[in-house]
Structures are given as C-alpha cells and as structure tokens.
A and B are shown apart, each in its own frame.
Chain A
Amino acid sequence: MSVMWRLADGGLIDRTKPVRFRFDGQAMTGYAGDTLASALLANGVRLFGRSFKYHRPRGLLSAGVEEPSALVGAGVGGRFEPNTRATDLFLYDGLDAVSQNRWPSLSFDAMAVNQLIAPFIPAGFYYKTFLGPPSLWKLYEHAIRAAAGLGKPPQLPDADAYERRAAFCDVLVVGAGPAGLSAALAAARSGARVAVCDLDARPGGSLLGDPATIADQSSTDWIASAIAELEALGARLLFRTTAFGFYDHNMVYLAERVTEPGAKPTSGDIAQRMWRMRAGAVVLAQGAIERPLPFAENDRPGVMLAGAARTYVNRFAVKPGSSAVVATSADDAYGAAFSLDKAGVKIAGIADLRSEDEISPAILRRARERFEVVTGAHPRAALVGSGRAKGLEVLVDGRARTFEADLIAVSGGLNPSVHLHMQAGGGLDWNPRRGVFTPVSPRQGQLSAGACAGHTILSDVVADGWRAGLEAASRLGFSAAAGAAPVVLSEPLDAGVCAFAPAPGAHLKTVFVDPQNDVTMSDLDLAWREGYRSVEHMKRYTTLGMATDQGKTSNLMGLARLALNEGRPAPDVGLTTFRPPFTPTTLGLWVGEDAGFHVTPLRRAPLYEQHAAHNPPWQAVGYWRRPRAYIRPGETLATAALREAKTVRERVGITDVSTLGKFEVSGPDAAALLEKVLATSVSKLAVGRGRYTFMLREDGFVNDDGTVWRTGETRFLLTSSTGGADRMAQLLSYVRNVLYPELKVGVANVQEHYAAVAVAGPKAREVIAKLFEGADPPRHMSSARGSMAGVPALILAASYSGERAFEVYVASHSAPGVWAALEAASADLGGCAYGLEALEILRVEKGHVETGGEIDGRTSAHDLCLEKMLNPRGGYMGALAQTRPAFSDPNRLQFVGIESLGGPIPEGGMLVERPGFAVQGHVTAAGVRVLEPGYVGLALLRGGRAREGEELMAHSPTRTMTARVRVCSPVFHDPAGERYRD
C-alpha cells in the first residue's frame, strides 16, 4: 500500500534514512525529511481526525501551520503534546502519535452521532437553552465539558527544559523563502548584521513545494548557495524557528523548535528555545497562505489546498490521491495540476471559476494540452462516498457537471500573511478583485516583502525581497555595494479572483468555513440574522477563527460573508485584531529556565546555612526564608516556640534579624532628609543615640516602622521591617532624588551589607559584655562600636521583645563566626536561639505593632496609638494627607489589646458582640502570656481606644473557634519598661 503512494524518486526526503513511527498504535515507516502528515499520506492514511462539534471525519487540508484538521497527540508521559499539527511535526524515530477527539477510534467515533442532531445545534445554540437554576447548569456543563476540548491534557510535569535567550541584530528577516533569502543577501552584503528565521526545518519556503529557476540555477542550488553566502557573511540562521510575536520597538519573539513534539532531546535537555530578538529593522517575508473554496461538503477527507497537494508531490514525493480535480480561481493552482500529473495522478480536469480571458493564456494552453479545463465553473458540492470525497460537482452556465476524483485540490488564491505586520501596528489595503488585504502604513517601519506584500509572481517576489533588504540596511546606515538582485524569469500569472461565495443552490449547512470548530456558512448567516453583525460579534458568536489554526484559512471568508450580508465592502466591515502568538506557542517555552523552583528567586540571608543545619520550618517573608523555630526532639512548633520565648524572658536568646531593611544616610542634610521621610523627628538625637520611628505613605497611612540611630554628627543608620525594606528603599530614593535633589546627603541601602543578630533577655548584657571588645555594651537606645569575634561590630541597644536587648551588626561575610560565638556564649548561660514564632509571641505580649499585622496599609498613626510621636513641625511624607477628615473619625479601627477570658484566641477572627452580630474589628495577632498561663492578643477595633474594659467575642466561623475577650491595653508584659530601661 505504502509503495503505491510514495513516488519512486524525487522529493527532498532522505531515502537513505528510514524512520519508524506509530499512529494510533499502528507501526509505519517514513523517511527523514517527512512530516508526520506526508508520512501518513505515504502510508495511505486519509482519515486524520474528527471535528470539534459534529465529529465529522477530517482529512488533511494543508502542508503547513494553517492546518485545521490533522491534529494529533505526540509523545508520551512528560513529553506528551496534544493538539499537534501533523503538518508541523518532522518525523523522528520512535514517534508515537495518536488521533484526537474520537472514541473509541478514529474510524468509528461514537460522538459522530452529533451529526444527526446537527440541525438543532447550530452556532450559539447553547445560549438559547440549558436555562434554569445554576445547579441544573452544572449537570449540563459536565457533559458539555467532557465533549469539549480536543486533545487529552498532559498529566505529568514536563520532562524537558526550555531556554530563553536575548539576541540583537541589525536586520531581522522573517522567512527564508525566495523573498526572505533575497532580502537577507541584500542586507548582509550591504554590511548589516543579519538574522534570518523560518519555521520550516530547512530554508526555501514556497520553493520547496514549487521548485523554479533562480539566477540560472535550480532553486535547490540557489538556496544552498544563498545559505552558504549568508553563513560566510556572519548571518545568524535560525530554522524551525517561528517569529510569533512582534512587540514594541522592534522586539520580536521567536520560538525555536529544537526538539520535535514528543521527541527526546538530543542536544542537551532543551525542548525549545525562545529568542528575544531586538532588531534595528525587520523585514517580513512570511509568504502567503492559500485559501480554500466554499462548496457543500468541502470539509471531507480528500479536499486539500492545491499548493499543499503540489508540495506533497514535489517536496515529499507522495501522491495525495489517485485521481484529482483542481478547482481554482487563480493561476497558481495550475502548477499543482502539472505536478500531480507528472506524479502519475489521474487528472479529471481543472474547474476554473474565472472566465477564459481572465486566465493567463500560456498557462491555459499548456494545461489544455494535458487535461480538460472548464472555465466559468463554480464548485457547488463535493460528492461523498464512505464519508470521503469522491468527486466535485460544479455549475457551468447554470448546468451541473461532475468530476470524479478522490482528491479535490482547491485554491481561492493566496492570502498575504499580514499577521506580524499587524501585530507591529499598521494598516491594510484591500484588493477587491483578489479579495486580499496587503500591508500598508507600518507603524514601526517594518518592511513587508514578497508574497506577504501581495506579490504572486516569483520574479516580483525575489526583486521585492531584494529591495526590502537593501532598504532595511541602508536605513541603518549600511550601504556597502550589494551587487545586483538575483535574476528570475517568470511567466505572467494571474493572481486570481476572490471566491468567497458558494455556487447558487449549494447546501449552506455543509459549506464549512472553519472546519475545526464546525462553523458553516449557514452559521454565519444565522449570526447575521440575529444581529451579531460586527466582525467581533460574528467571530465570538460562531467561534469562527477561534480554533487552534487561529482562522488562517477561514477568517477572510467569514469577513467576506459578513460583508455580503451587510451589503458593504469587506474593509468597511472591519477586521479582527491580530495578536501574538502567530502560531500556538508552548507554555513551557514562555517560562524557560524560571520553571519549578526557579519561578521566583530565593534570597538567603548570611546565616541561612546555620539555620538550615537545624532543619527548621521556614517562614516565607517576601523572597527570604526565615526560621520559625529550632524544634528539638519531642517538640511541636508551638511548644518549641513557647520554650524559646520563655528562655528569652528568663535568661537569654539570640535571633537572626539580618533581613531587616538598613540604610546609611549621611551628609550635612542627613537629618533634614530623614525628617521628610520619617514621621518622627530625628534632629534632636545626640550622637550615639537612637529612637523608635515610623514612616507614612504619601496618602497618610502608616507604611512601616523601624529605628533610627545617629552614629555620627552627619551620619544615621535607619532600620525598617523585612517586608517593607524594598518599599523603604524606593521611598528614600524618590524623596532624595526626585523631591529634594538639592539636599546634600547620600543614602546607601546596606540591607545586604550587614548581618544582624539580636541578643535579648535578662542575661543579654552578660553575653555582650563577654564578647564585645573596645567598648562597653551600650545603654538602652544607645549605640557603640567595637569588635566581636575578631571583626568590627556595631551594637544598637533596642528591645523588640520587651527584655533588655542588643542588635549586633557585622559585615555579612563575618556573620557565621559571630553567630557561633553568640550561640556558644548564650548557651553557657542557659540561653538558646529563637525563631520567628517566639519573636511573634514576645512582641505580641509587649504590644509592638508590626508591618503586615497592625500596620496593614489602612491604619493611621492615630489608629496605632503613635500620634504622640508625630513630628510637630510636619513636612514629612504623609503629613498633609493625614489631615483628611476620615483620619479623625472616632469610629475608625483602632489598635487595642485583648485578653482571653477563656481559651485561645483565633488569630484573624472577627470581633463581635455575639456570633451573628455586626463585625466591629478583627484579631491581628494571637499569642500567650509567656511566664504565666493566659491567652492574649492584639486587635483593631472600631473606636477601640475608648472601649477599654468591654467584653466581646473573637469569632472564627471558618475554624469553628470562639473566645470571649476583654479589651485592654496592648502592653501585657512590663508596661513600665523596667526590664530594659537604664
């Protein structure tokens, strides 16, 4: 069987390299250079898939990415790629391909029963029925979703990796067909750095299916010498690479198919590579896509684009049928007839829509030497046998006539591919005779050349490519002598007439416009009758052009039908927008090396390894991970945290606070700058002293808090929370550079420069005294410089926990040694390391507000009981905005403490009088008393500052947890601050 369809010689396949593959479980062979489509054709396969809605049998329409019907799943497991076009998959050994959207098999698909109810399920039928309550819709939907979709979803993570690269060139040429290669040669010879990409596996474009003579050479030879010259001139040549997105300022995204769908990568582990190509100028030589013809049953296996039929013969050495009728409205398809004839396909005739005088005489004469050519022939219906095409009925002068053939090669002319031109931004010109749009008014100066600019004769195509390449290069200043354009002698060819209307009497219900989504001419007419008359409404209502082929062979026919119904010319009716991607692009390719664990960076603080050695549970804080507790055997997270907190209150604990924001602000105007950023004053701070501080956002709400220390006459160190550090850095930079550039001050973000360890507890001073050299441990809210464990250290005495505490700042790379020393010294005194959970317990008991908790971006200084610290001189960020009336509303959510009158308080729970009553606030943090039993918490409560003593419920319906609480001061531990004050 396969011998019969494969031609004995010819084609661009490598007959020395047979390739074994499977299709629907059946073993077959092909050759290197075959696509899956050509190999299947060679094996006699004619049924390739089933359509989306009606499950009608589908054959092969094309030989390219415009293929709507021949979709397969390729590969297995973590390489499985559903919805793969058989025409866009080059054969490889071991390929395992399966057809889709059919059960139990392609030849017997139970869902084909949908064809019986076709009259009742036209476009948009689901909007008119399945009404009723949403619960009923869920039932219908379950069936609809099971029937919808085409390929099976992959079940496993991707087995392979993807790579993304940036690249730059002077001239990017999209397409390596005759126009593209000419353009590339012209530009490269002019001296420009050229990059050429083509989605095919080899250069040549249309010449691969339609060989010709260029510059006195065969096209094969000309292509080879062009490539050799381009390589010698240093051009970057990317094959199997699709330019899919044209973005702002000549950024073009390319997808390089390093490994065929479903195949195991051979070069490294890369499945595909994305190129972010920034070009000085772009030449678009994407070619043109052939259009099918509208007639009844035009979706049947056996109906194929004429150019594709020619390509299968000339490039792949396969006969797509045993007998053929060519139905066309343009000269180009005659070439298909000649090629098929030469390959031994019996030509039943050529049915040409045009009148005799519209056809090029030379072509017509040559054709009539071999076959019957009927002019003025309007195809009306394919004749069907066993579900497939077996002939074509045409109308000539109102009389029907049939051609018997198992291959109906159709051509409605060639559509210039304007996709990238339109993505880049541009206009379109309408050619009413041909019924095509050609690119004009390029917004980014992109140059369209060759068939995609509307040319159809090879000599024009090559000349146009040459012109575009020269222009692109010279625009960038490259004008070295490029020589003369390649000479091509072409006979005149008529580009054809548009053929959007089916013949009178054609059964519109089977004139398919979008064969994948089963959108017929009668669907388009129904949409128009119902008032869906803009092109977008028509598209969305009928789903025309929304299939995986993105309407490449159907959009224009739909537009033309709409124009006909509207009684207006096509360009007036409008066009749907062209957006990336030009062909569907693998999601893994968009992700590249940011896959899996690398989706966001992981920032490791200097002491990460020290913590990791204890295998702690981690807390994600932005991109950082901080240890929650150092759990000992027999402990849970909660018991470990309580133990650590107790240790801090009773003896001493050390904790890593390296991730806090830290900024050095220095210069004569340092204090002035800080008083514009901070809501508190700093100018009164003596050298060596520090204070608690906080910052407002421009709109007056509290942004973050921290501490500020005067470490020199004109030098300050500012700290902020970990979570707010990046915001703080941006704010400082904005205020300093944009608002007050005249100030004499420098700001350095030293967050990563310093590691910091907090030592807290009654014995903290002892620990510091033991290790700190060169100075005494500083008093509360003072700083001191000295050294520790042999490295310079700055110590800030501030307390977050409520115990006497010291923060030790050292250069990051010195941190491990200092940590080890502090760990040992505190262990000697019965202390331990503590993590974020203990830190939280301690700060809750002490009533400290926290960014992310009480500082939630909606609370003001007054809400948080910080108003007394506001700088009375004003002039700081947020000062003006907090004068707005809402800020003095007494019923605002205000910071309070809550103590439980019973069990644990649900953190995040709502504060209510009773469950079911109005919400009056919420619990921002829940904790325990450390040294005695009892549950406490912090909260935001409406008018809370005036409600001390009130009893409420903290209620969590989602966790079925409720606690009776009393509103109180938030400072539960040592309200007078005696434990750390001097």
Chain B
Amino acid sequence: MKYSAFNLFREGLAGHKGWPQAWRDPEPKSHYDIVVIGGGGHGLTTAYYLASLHGVNKVAVLERSWIGGGNTGRNTTIVRSNYRQPELHALMELSLKRWEGMSDEINYNVMFSQRGALFLGHSDSDMLQLAQKGDAMRADGIDAELMTRDQVAKLIPLLDVSPTARYPVQGGLIQRRGGTARHDAVAWGYARAADRLGVDIIQQCEVMGIDMVGGRATGVRTTRGVIGADKIAICVAGHSGRVAAMAGLRLPVESHLLQAFVSEPVKPMIDTVIMTQSLHCYISQSDKGEIVLGGDPDAYPTYSQRGAPHIIEKAAAEALALVPSLSRLRMLRSWAGTTDMSFDGSPIIDRTPVDGLYLNGGWCYGGFKATPGSGFLYAHLLATGESHPVAAPFRLDRFETGHTIDEPGVGPMPQNR
C-alpha cells in the first residue's frame, strides 16, 4: 500500500489494521543472480538499484541479524558532500543528489533535512583551508559558501564566538544542501522498495563461508543453508575483512570503532550541522530534540562495539567549548559502531581478484552520507561489469599502485585519521 497522508488518514479510521508488512520474510532460494552480503543501507540500496535501474531482481540481500543493525543504525546521520579531494566530492555529490529525491522515490519519509552542514574555521589558516575546499567544490559545481563570524553567530546563536575562546570562531564554510536524515528510515525504506521489486531480503542469515570452484566464487554457505549465486557482492562495513577472508583475501582494511552519544531531548536549540576545521567533534540536533554528538575514533582495532570513556570526555569537551550552554544537558545514550578503516580513508568499490566476488567497503566513518550513491555505483558495477566513472578511482589495487585518495593527507595508518 502506498504511503500517503490520505492512506494514513483512511487507515487511522480503521485502526491501522490494513498496513501490510514493509518487506516480506521469504525463505532463501537455492540460487540468485546476485547475492548481496550485508543488509545495511549500502547493501539495500545496491539491491534496490539493481532491480529498479538495471532490471536485475533475482537478488538476495543476506543480513546476519536485523537490517540496518550495523553502522546504518549507529551513525550520527550527517549528509554532505563537502570534501576537498575531487574524487570524493564527486562521489558524495552523486549521492547527495539522490538524497534530494529519495523520500518520494522510495515512498518512505527518510526525513532528509537540508538544514546546512557548516565547517567552522578558527583562524586565518583554517579559513584559507576552508576557502580552498569551497573553491574546489564550486569549481566542480557543488554548493559551498564562506561565512563570516557574524553570519555564523546569527545562524547558531548559542555558539561561543568570543575572541578569547580557546578556539575562537573566525567564520566557516557552509554547504546549505547538506544536513541530516533519519538513518533507520533509510534502511527500512530501501528494504521496502527493493522488496516490492522482487528482491528477497533475508534476515538472521549469516554467511559462514564462500564456496569456490576453480578460483571462482559460486555461492555462500549460511546459517540458513547454501545459496548459489552468479555474483557475490560483499557489503558489510566493519566485517569486510572477515568475509573477504572466507575467499582467502587479505584487504587493505582494519576494523576500528567510533562512538557517538545523544542528549535528552530539548526544544529546538541548534538548527545546523556543526563541524570544525580544528577540532574533531560534530554537533547536530535530531528532529526529536536530542543533541547528537560525536568526536574522535577510539584509534585501535576492535570488533567490540564498546568504546572507552576518555574518548567521550574529549568529544564532550570540544563540543562544550563550541556551545557552552550544552553543559547542563544530560547524555541519554551512548553507542559505537565498527568502522571499516581503509588505508587512505576512502572507500573501495571494485571487483576482487576472485572471479565473481565484489567488494564495497572501507567507508571508515563516512559511509552514511554515501548510502544511495554507494548503492547506485555498486549496482552499476555488478550489473554492467564495469565501474561507473565516479567509482573508478576507488579500486582495490590502488594501495599497490599508489593511487591513493587521502582527504586529510595523513597516510595509511587508520588510527591517524
């Protein structure tokens, strides 16, 4: 049933008994054209675009627990394309354009709010770096605007812009088309849309092994049986290395951890997404009123999804230095996700050396904003066998060849990102 105000009203009169299941719960078939391993946002958008753009719907998305339970359900919901490196802003902008029509396209309100993504600059040199980023974006047709301190102060009245602050605000670079979205809704919306096109979404189905015949991947062994496939698409950020190892591959990826936390909900206080050139914290306010905060990663490999508290202390200190009136708000929840750290900070969307096996991973902590773009590009690769030009730079072998795409220029070690 189509989602609409009219149907909501009609069902309201009837006790909401008519809404069908958002996605079916089918038994896995014995064979698919394409098996996508990983039911997060990226895996689900991949399946959707395979079916909707390429007419390939003999597709299964295999999720070891519940869809969207990985990083799609753990991020801080920021959407933007304000990257300095042209390969990256091209990728994120392709994604941002898909965000702009998403709710209508999939008939599910993902609450994409283009309220602006602002990078603060705290010095002349910060402002020069921001101007450079803005110039690079604008030269490639992406929106970016420099703001003065007064303009920033007007946009975010509770920001400490006094010149005696430890990190005085000098201005910023804003991407007005950036903002936030409701992360769970993206997973659910794409699951429903893909399901309607015939894709099988199979939860509680963990891949335990990849079957190979003569060096070619032919299927997966799962907790719900053996499933054959012409193409197998890995899409499990955080566990890319584990799954790839089932086919004997070592990846340029290390699993780390990123924490985030939210406050108790309050009335509107911060309307823009705040990030900063000099500090590592980021601040926004959800539609429920909770202030969403994050900071540095924990800086060591772990699958525990359990972060250390001193990291939160630092993130809170930086956030409060920027917005002092956050101090009396209370942290309500904290959580962490397992990040797929690549060795240049940029993702990998490519075939692997194993025939029939593909990889989409290495998104570090920047994957959520790329959700629709990632799926679009991965679907293109899977369906046509060729990388889309925007995806082409994100090859698996770029670490061997040296064609790395390193936005902050900090090198291969993930803990330095």
Contacts and interface: CB of A to CB of B under 8 A. Distances in A.
A contacts B directly in the complex (CB < 8 Å)? yes
Interface of A: 52, 79-83, 119-120, 122, 125-134, 137-138, 141, 144-146, 148-158, 164, 245, 247-248, 251, 253, 276, 522, 526, 529-534, 536-537, 540-541, 543, 546, 548, 550, 577, 579-581, 584-588, 590-592, 594-600, 602, 619-620, 628, 697-701, 703, 852, 856-858, 881-882, 884-887, 906-910, 912, 915, 919, 922, 955-959
Nearest to B307: A247
A157 B325 contact: yes
Contacts of B328: 79-82, 154, 158, 586-588
Contact of A885 (B128, B288, B401, B409): B401
Interface string B112-128: 11110000001111001
Contacts of B160: 157
Nearest to B204: A534
A958 B403 CA distance: 29
Contacts of A881: 402
B66 interface: yes
Given A157-B325, A908-B132, A585 B331 contact: yes
B254 interface: no
Contact of A151 (B20, B267, B326): B267
Contacts of B158: 153, 155
A351 B174 CA distance: 62
Contacts, number: 334
B13 A119 contact: yes
Interface in B1-55: 3-5, 7-9, 12-13, 15-17, 19-25
Nearest to B132: A908
B222 interface: no
A604 to B, nearest CB: 14
A318 B20 CA distance: 50
Closest CB pairs A-B (n = 6): A857-B409, A149-B289, A886-B402, A908-B132, A884-B402, A157-B324
Contact of A591 (B4, B164, B313): B313
A885 B395 CA distance: 14
Nearest to A878: B411
A141 B411 CA distance: 41
Contacts of B189: 127
B309 A247 contact: yes
B244 interface: no
Contact of B268 (A145, A581, A955): A145
A908 B334 contact: no
B327 A588 contact: yes
Contacts of A955: 135, 139
Given A83-B266, A534-B203, A701-B411, A910 B135 contact: yes
A131 B109 CA distance: 6
Given A701-B411, A910-B136, A141 B111 contact: yes
B265 A149 contact: yes
Contacts of A856: 409
A679 to B, nearest CB: 15
A588 B398 CA distance: 44
Contacts of B269: 153
Given A699-B411, A955-B139, A153 B266 contact: yes
Which of B108, B144, B264, B400 has most chain A Cβ within 10 Å?
A: B264
B19 A581 contact: no
A131 B135 contact: no
A944 B86 CA distance: 18
Given A155-B158, A245-B309, A600-B166, 10 more contacts: A128-B8, A129-B8, A153-B267, A154-B328, A247-B306, A587-B331, A591-B313, A620-B122, A699-B412, A958-B134
Interface string B326-341: 1111111111000000
B411 A697 contact: yes
A886 B111 contact: no
A82 B122 CA distance: 31
Contact of B166 (A541, A586, A597, A852): A597
Interface of B: 3-5, 7-9, 12-13, 15-17, 19-25, 65-66, 69, 73, 86, 99-101, 103-104, 107-109, 111-115, 122-125, 128-129, 131-132, 134-136, 138-140, 144-146, 158, 160, 164-167, 173, 182, 184-185, 188-189, 203, 263-269, 278-279, 285, 287-289, 306, 308-309, 312-314, 316-321, 324-335, 398, 400-404, 406, 408-412
Given A120-B8, A531-B22, A856-B409, A158 B327 contact: yes
Nearest to A539: B184
Contacts of B265: 52, 83, 148-151, 548
B170 to A, nearest CB: 11
Nearest to B183: A540
A570 B167 CA distance: 51
A669 B114 CA distance: 60
A693 B319 CA distance: 39
Contact of B264 (A151, A908, A910): A151
Nearest to B313: A590
A526 B19 contact: yes
Contacts of A148: 265, 267, 287-289
A587 B316 contact: yes
B20 A530 contact: yes
Contact of B12 (A120, A585, A587, A590): A120
Contacts of A137: 103, 109, 111-113
A956 B104 CA distance: 36
B19 A530 contact: yes
Contact of A886 (B184, B185, B403, B410): B403
B12 A130 contact: no
A146 B267 contact: yes
A531 B264 contact: no
B261 to A, nearest CB: 9
A637 to B, nearest CB: 9
Which of B86, B167, B278, B331 has most chain A Cβ within 10 Å?
A: B331
B135 A596 contact: no
B80 to A, nearest CB: 14
A908 B127 CA distance: 10
Contacts of B325: 153-158
A925 B379 CA distance: 42
Contact of A82 (B22, B309, B329, B334): B329
Contacts of A120: 8-9, 12
A144 B316 contact: no
B23 to A, nearest CB: 6
Nearest to B412: A699
A597 B289 CA distance: 28
Nearest to B305: A577
Contact of B103 (A132, A149, A922): A132
A134 B113 contact: yes
Nearest to B286: A148
Nearest to B318: A599
Given A151-B266, A536-B69, A579-B333, A595 B317 contact: yes
25 contacts: A80-B328, A119-B13, A134-B113, A144-B287, A145-B285, A145-B289, A150-B266, A154-B325, A154-B326, A276-B309, A532-B22, A532-B188, A533-B25, A550-B332, A579-B334, A587-B316, A591-B327, A595-B321, A857-B406, A885-B402, A886-B402, A908-B128, A908-B131, A910-B139, A958-B145
A248 B308 contact: yes
Given A137-B103, A530-B22, A83 B330 contact: yes
A591 B323 CA distance: 13
A666 B160 CA distance: 48
A251 B5 CA distance: 51
A959 B412 contact: no
A868 B166 CA distance: 43
Contacts of A531: 21-25
Given A697-B411, A886-B401, A908-B131, A958 B267 contact: no
A591 B103 contact: no
A592 B313 contact: yes
A702 to B, nearest CB: 10
A910 B142 CA distance: 14
B167 to A, nearest CB: 7
